[in-house]
């Protein structure tokens, strides 16, 4: 089954989903001039919610194929290969119906319905490479993987000693069927070689955020009778890495409202966001989310293509939007020039001490 990558296909936009602005017809330069004027906040289309971890984590699909990303000195990152979703789309049931919709439409993006989180997008790899080159570690940091999809960036932070890692994706199906299984898989595979974190976390009792992330208890007792690795059950309440994670689905505006209700509201030292600026209609709420949730001296790592054909957004438009807002300064950390141009940039508050 061939899927359309890079959004170079007509995107279903309707008044219910976004704000009706015609993204496909916007030429880069003319659109850039008027980003501030023409983009309106996308209507909230998917109410945010926090996901409870299942107590019995022995739920990974039997037909799952796993992949591992190994980049230089980074700990290996394991994830479910998306082909399992493609092959089994017709039999799988999800309340959002995104498996069958994306299979039927042969599309990686159905705006306002499915925002592309079931596969790992290439800019995620660019950002992983950059982190490897920078030797960045995340010891003690509060991290948000915004628009996480498979969650590899958040998982890396988790393995590199982050204090807490929150994962957000638009689709609840992505969180439940991909992000959570991937995090669990990595916790299961988190052996001594990976384990820069365990030594710190193990035996310390509840971490700061553990109470915040409720666990769903299954009535059945979990027994560990030496099953194969991908089937081994993990008790999240006992696992130091899982206890640091929270999972959210929903659109950014309601996600922001939800997390701002927590006491105290989170401020993230690091926000990763990869391949999330393809739709200019979402820029206001994305910017607001970064503005409200980034710690005063925090850093946003944004990985993106120059331009998303068929959708209209891209780095030039987003930078224009950010500059017009005047809140963040943007620095280029990496610029690729092969094929479709890709970039990694950072955003930090103009008022940040280190800027
Ligand atoms: C193309 S996917 C990228 C997934 C992942 N970051 C990667 O690089 O593999 C874009 C992600 O942005 C998120 N996203 C896009 N628009 C959103 C919106 N309006 N509200 C919430 N999340 C959104 C979705 O969660 C989606 O998974």
Ligand 1 atom closest to Cα of 109?
1
Cα(168) to ligand 1 centroid in Å equals 8
Q: How far apart are CA 95 and CA 170, in angstroms?
A: 14
Cα(205) to ligand 1 centroid in Å equals 34
Residue 134 lies in a domain: yes
pLDDT for the residue 281: 95
Residue 108 lies in a domain: yes
Cα(256) to ligand 1 centroid in Å equals 15
pLDDT digits (tens, 9 = 90+) for 117-140: 999 999 999 999 999 999 999 999
Residues having CB within 6 Å of any atom of ligand 1: 42, 115-117, 120-121, 123-124, 147-150, 169-170, 251-252, 274-276, 282
**E strand or H helix at 346, and its extent?**
strand 342-349
Ligand 1 atom closest to Cα of 171?
25
Ligand 1, from 21, 79, 116, 278: best to mutate by most atoms within 8 Å of Cβ?
A: 116
Residue found under tokens 């940039």: 345
Q: What's the first-to-final CA gap in the chain, in angstroms?
A: 47
Residue 174 lies in a domain: yes
CB 243 within 8 A of CB 236: yes
- What stretches in the chain show pLDDT beneath 50? 1-41, 191-232, 355
pLDDT for the residue 95: 84
pLDDT for the residue 16: 28
pLDDT for the residue 193: 42
pLDDT digits (tens, 9 = 90+) for 214-271: 333 332 222 333 333 444 455 666 678 888 999 999 999 999 999 999 999 999 999 9
Q: How far apart are CA 147 and CA 48, in angstroms?
A: 13
Domain count, the chain: 1
pLDDT for the residue 184: 87
Ligand 1 atom closest to Cα of 145?
6
Range of 189's domain? Answer: 28-217+228-349
Cα(283) to ligand 1 centroid in Å equals 12
Residue 14 lies in a domain: no
Ligand 1 atom closest to Cα of 117?
27
pLDDT for the residue 107: 84
| DSSP code of residue 231 | G
- What is the CATH classification number for the domain harbouring 97? 3.40.50.150
Instruction: Return the SS3 of 253.
Output: helix
pLDDT for the residue 125: 97
Q: How far apart are CA 241 and CA 181, in angstroms?
A: 14
Provide the token pair at 283.
């820029």
């Amino acid at each position: 089954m061939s899927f359309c990558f890079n959004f170079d296909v007509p995107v279903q936009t309707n008044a219910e989903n976004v704000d009706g602005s015609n993204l496909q017809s916007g030429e880069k330069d003319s659109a850039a001039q008027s980003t501030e004027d023409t983009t309106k906040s996308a209507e909230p289309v998917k109410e945010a919610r926090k996901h409870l971890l299942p107590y019995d984590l022995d739920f990974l699909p039997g037909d799952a194929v796993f992949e591992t990303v190994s980049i230089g000195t980074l700990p290996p990152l394991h994830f479910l290969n998306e082909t399992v979703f493609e092959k089994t789309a017709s039999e799988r049931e999800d309340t959002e119906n995104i498996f069958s919709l994306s299979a039927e439409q042969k599309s990686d993006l159905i705006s306002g319905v499915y925002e592309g989180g079931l596969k790992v997008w290439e800019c995620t790899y660019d950002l992983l490479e950059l982190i490897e080159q920078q030797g960045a570690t995340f010891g003690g940091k509060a991290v948000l993987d915004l628009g996480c999809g498979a969650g590899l960036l958040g998982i890396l932070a988790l393995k590199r000693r982050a204090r807490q890692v929150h994962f957000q994706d638009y689709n609840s199906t992505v969180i439940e069927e991909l992000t959570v299984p991937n995090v669990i898989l990595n916790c299961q595979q988190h052996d001594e070689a990976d384990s820069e974190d365990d030594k710190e976390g193990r035996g310390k009792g509840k971490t700061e955020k553990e109470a915040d992330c409720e666990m769903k208890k299954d009535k059945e007792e979990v027994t560990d009778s030496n099953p194969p690795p991908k089937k081994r059950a993990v008790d999240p309440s006992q696992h130091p890495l899982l206890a640091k994670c929270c999972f959210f689905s929903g659109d950014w505006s309601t996600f922001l409202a939800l997390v701002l209700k927590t006491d105290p509201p989170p401020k993230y030292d690091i926000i990763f966001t990869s391949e999330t600026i393809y739709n200019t209609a979402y820029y206001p709420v994305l910017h607001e989310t970064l503005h409200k949730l980034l710690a005063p001296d925090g850093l946003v790592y944004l990985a993106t293509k120059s331009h998303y054909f068929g959708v209209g957004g891209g780095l030039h438009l987003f930078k224009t939007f950010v500059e017009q807002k005047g809140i963040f300064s943007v620095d280029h950390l990496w610029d690729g020039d092969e094929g479709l141009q890709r970039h990694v940039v950072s955003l930090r508050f103009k008022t940040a001490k280190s800027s």
